Amino acid sequence: MDRIIAVGGDGTLNEVLSGLVRTGRSAQELPELGFLPAGTANAAIPAFGFSSDPDAVAKSLCEADSRAVDVGIVSYEGGERPFLLWFGAGFDAVVIDALHTSRTGLMGVSGLLAHSRRVVSALGRYAAPQIEMEIDGSPFGVASSAVLANVGTAAFGVVVAKTADPFDGQLDVIAAPTGSRLSLIRIALSMWTSSLSEARGVRHTLGTRIRLESDGQVPFQLDGEPVGTLPVDVRLEKGAVRLLHT
């Protein structure tokens, strides 16, 4: 195959990416990966500057150029899975899981608002165990939530890190401090006004190998899909897949 096109949302794109990565082949040996948006959230559209018009995308797929893009690989108790957009552990994974529990056609900001009661209830029940972080072999302290961003924007149109670049061979690591629920709400709101990485008290750095662990039950998600719980080891594979720019 020359090209494989994922038709759906971010979860579908992640599933197709997983199939490609599992072959163990290099980007040059793999088919190019394309994305035709037909899902409910489609966070990959703003993240990579894709067109949101399915007809326009379909017409461009045959002639579109590709570029090797970085891919994060997460090792956990259930095996290994890649992510193209972002990894989140802690509060954002709780929100994602609450939305997927009663998934409807409403996702994105509208889905978040429609299911706000369920989301708030899930956040209230979450014990928020501390997450211990290690980056490239060095301790990075503890956090209440951690985001590993391959791209600048994530679900709900929020900005995680303006400097995140899926072609630079590094992951942007953002650690939210432990503290009161009110302080964490202020940090979350900053993602709509500026970016999570610029919020007060948040630590931001770059890395290629990250370990996250906790004494408690901390869920994590990949590209907006609930996956499992910590501990995890994350590594970045530079230029692992050729992504079609549509």
C-beta of residue 143 within 8 angstroms of C-beta of residue 130: yes
pLDDT of residue 155: 75
For the chain, give the percent of residues with pLDDT over 90.
68
Residue 246 lies in a domain: no
Residue 10 lies in a domain: yes
Helix (H, G, I), strand (E, B) or coil at 149: strand
Nearest to 50 by CA among 37, 39, 41: 37
pLDDT of residue 64: 94
Distance CA 88, CA 245 (A): 25
Judgement on whether residues 62 and 84 belong to the same structural domain of the protein: no
Number of compact structural domains in the chain = 2
Does the pLDDT value for residue 104 go beyond 80? no
- Give the mean model confidence (pLDDT) for residues 158-162: 91
Spatial neighbors of 198 by CB under 8 A, at least 6 apart, are: 162, 190, 204
Residue 242 lies in a domain: no
pLDDT, mean over the chain: 90
Does the pLDDT value for residue 46 go beyond 70? yes
Judgement on whether residues 93 and 62 belong to the same structural domain of the protein: no
Judgement on whether residues 60 and 94 belong to the same structural domain of the protein: no
C-beta of residue 88 within 8 angstroms of C-beta of residue 216: no
pLDDT of residue 154: 83
Does the pLDDT value for residue 91 go beyond 70? yes
- Give the mean model confidence (pLDDT) for residues 43-51: 92
Tell me, what CATH number does 167's domain have? 2.60.200.40
Residue in the block written with tokens 């400097």: 163
* Boundary (domain end) residue, out of 31, 54, 69: 69
Distance CA 140, CA 108 (A): 31
* Parent domain of 16: 3-69
Alpha helix segments (H runs only) across the chain: 10-22, 44-48, 54-60, 91-101, 108-114, 116-125, 181-193
C-beta of residue 220 within 8 angstroms of C-beta of residue 77: no
Residue 43 lies in a domain: yes
* Boundary (domain end) residue, out of 69, 86, 118: 69
Distance CA 206, CA 40 (A): 31
Does the pLDDT value for residue 3 go beyond 80? yes
Does the pLDDT value for residue 203 go beyond 90? yes
- Give the mean model confidence (pLDDT) for residues 32-54: 91
pLDDT of residue 41: 78
pLDDT of residue 114: 59
C-beta of residue 198 within 8 angstroms of C-beta of residue 98: no
pLDDT of residue 39: 83
Judgement on whether residues 48 and 148 belong to the same structural domain of the protein: no
Each residue of 119-130: pLDDT tens digit?
677 777 899 899
Each residue of 175-191: pLDDT tens digit?
999 877 667 777 777 76
- Give the mean model confidence (pLDDT) for residues 203-229: 97
Residue 26 lies in a domain: yes
Does the pLDDT value for residue 112 go beyond 60? no
Partners of 226 in beta bridges:
221
Distance CA 216, CA 99 (A): 22
Residue 195 lies in a domain: yes
Does the pLDDT value for residue 102 go beyond 70? no
pTM confidence score:
0.91
Judgement on whether residues 62 and 81 belong to the same structural domain of the protein: no
Judgement on whether residues 166 and 233 belong to the same structural domain of the protein: yes
